[in-house]
Structure 1
Amino acid sequence: MQIVTKKLLKLGVDEGKEINESQLVLLDLKEDEKSEWRALSLNKQLSDARAELFILLNGVEDKEIQDKIIFNYKALQKFRKEENDKELEVEVKIQMPTSESGNVTIYCDGGCTPNPGKAGSGVAVYRNDTLSELWYGLYEEMGTNNTAELGALYESLLLAQKEAVNGNTVEIKCDSMYSINCIKTWAISWEKKGWTKKGGEIKNLEIIKLSYHLYNSIKNDVTLSHIKAHSGFEGNELADRMTMYTILEKSESFVKYDKEIVVADILNMRAG
């Protein structure tokens, strides 16, 4: 996910030029909002794909050409995903996780298809570098990537809290910079301002506040770090598959995966 900044907007629309129709759609703006599109776009959450397309469409005025660029981009993304799935199926160089900050590592992920749409969260827990358990749930009929990611992080913090009580130190690896920034960085300022921010409402405030206070209570025993999604780490891939399993099972409760854990079979499940 990307946060829309002035720099990103300048990359997409040259100074003195007008935003085109397809770029408005990518920013979730309507035609009657065109005159204020810059102000309305700042600080929005934008998927990596939408951000890249927004920049690729810079200066393209012809609607047919815009549509062709979008079509070709989606085809390229599909091709890349299919190639990545093939690699996962044959388990090419899957990296085993390392516990840099203790003996428990928790990988968390959230997914949504489409966005917004059916959403779910997943977690993979490793003890002494060995897969211990999988968790899934928090199904939403109409969720977003952000709500799913925040839910997964909150459940990971709850698991980490139990581990800390038992004297373990824990590392949580999350592939959502949005969720990490909400808990570790932005919430500090938001709290000081009475849980408000300049430019509008704080989306997903309830889960952010819960996660922020929980994190602060255990942060001496827990390390929260970012991991790039789909970069070859088994734990991240398994957490991802649990998000899709949630959507398949429509499990609103966050529960432990109770089937036999066969890593190869789970990795061959649908990826998020």
Structure 2
Amino acid sequence: MPEQPPLVFVYADESCLGNQYKDRARPGGAAGLMEYWHPEKGWVRRDFYLAEPDTTNNRMAIRSATVPLQSLKQASRVVFTSDSRYLVDGMTSWVHGWAARGWVRKGGEIENLELWKALMPVAARHEVQWRWVKGHNGHAQNEYANFLATRSAAKQMDSGGLVESGFDAWLREEQAKERCRNFFPVPPDKFEFKPGRRAPTR
């Protein structure tokens, strides 16, 4: 039986500050946590974050997927978790219809078309299970991704790729405040991986 590709978990979020304003710049951030199990080291975690000076939540949601998937050096099985319906519905449903129709939409132009097209070949390299999680609901990794995204939006920070994670220290602080107490990582050998359709490449 051939060896399975590595199993990687990604938790991503996006932020856009000042969405209520139409007459000023709306700084945004996208960020997340990537983790995988190493038989000798245990959980190995890395962070990523990026920013744009004037953007939208939807733009940053797409970019929150492009950066980590692009950073993986080999084809992997990826469990990608986000609280963005725009991203998850887009990747599990919309993009397949758009691609089949030559990247046109019945209702008009496709929002953020250039970003969707940039994400497609990156995602197509991997088997991806796209998962939606309710935001701001105590999910530890999602809350941490939100923390990173909000910080990167406010401070316009860019990690330049994957960097050493601060998740463990952040989690200790949160749990000391009686938050994120339900954090129990699922052992990878117990996780049932259910990939969706591969992303179209063009």
Whether TM exceeds 0.5 here: the answer is yes
Match of 1:109 in 2: 13
Matched, 1:149 2:69: no
Contact map agreement 1:102 1:171 (CA 8 A) in 2: no
1:213 alignment partner AA: P
- Give distance in 2, aligned partners of 1:183 and 1:254: 24
Runs of 4+ with >3 A deviation? 252-261, 264-268
Match of 2:150 in 1: 244
- Give distance in 1, aligned partners of 2:30 and 2:79: 18
Larger Rg: 1
1:253: Cα distance to partner? 5.9
- Give distance in 2, aligned partners of 1:121 and 1:226: 16
2:90 to 167, 175, 182: 182
Q: Identify if the C-alpha distance between structure 1 residues 191 and 241 changes in structure 2 by more than 3 Å, giving closer, same or farther.
A: same
Unmatched tracts of structure 1, length 5 or more? 1-100
Matched, 1:213 2:121: yes
Q: Identify if the C-alpha distance between structure 1 residues 230 and 260 changes in structure 2 by more than 3 Å, giving closer, same or farther.
A: closer
Question: Which structure shows the higher strand fraction?
Answer: 2
Contact map agreement 2:47 2:166 (CA 8 A) in 1: no
Helix, strand or coil for the counterpart of 1:142?
coil
Matched, 1:130 2:43: yes
How do 1:1-272 and structure 2 match up within 5 A? 103-115=7-19, 117-128=26-37, 130=43, 132-137=45-50, 139-159=51-71, 161-162=72-73, 164=75, 168-219=76-127, 222-252=128-158, 254-257=160-163, 262-264=169-171
Unmatched tracts of structure 2, length 5 or more? 176-202
1:266: Cα distance to partner? 7.2
Question: Which structure shows the higher helix fraction?
Answer: 1
2:69 alignment partner AA: L
1:263 alignment partner AA: W
1:232: Cα distance to partner? 1.6
What is the Cα-based RMSD across aligned positions, in Å? 2.7
Helix, strand or coil for the counterpart of 2:47?
strand
- Give distance in 2, aligned partners of 1:199 and 1:228: 28
TM-score (norm 1): 0.52
How many residues were matched structurally? Answer: 161
- Give distance in 2, aligned partners of 1:211 and 1:265: 34
Helix, strand or coil for the counterpart of 2:125?
helix
Deviations 1:205-231 (A, max 9, x none): 011112123222322xx3221122122
TM-score (norm 2): 0.68
Contact map agreement 2:12 2:145 (CA 8 A) in 1: yes
- Give distance in 1, aligned partners of 2:166 and 2:12: 20
Match of 2:190 in 1: none
- Give distance in 2, aligned partners of 1:263 and 1:163: 29
Point out which structure has higher relative CO (alpha carbons under 8 A, 6+ apart). Answer: 2
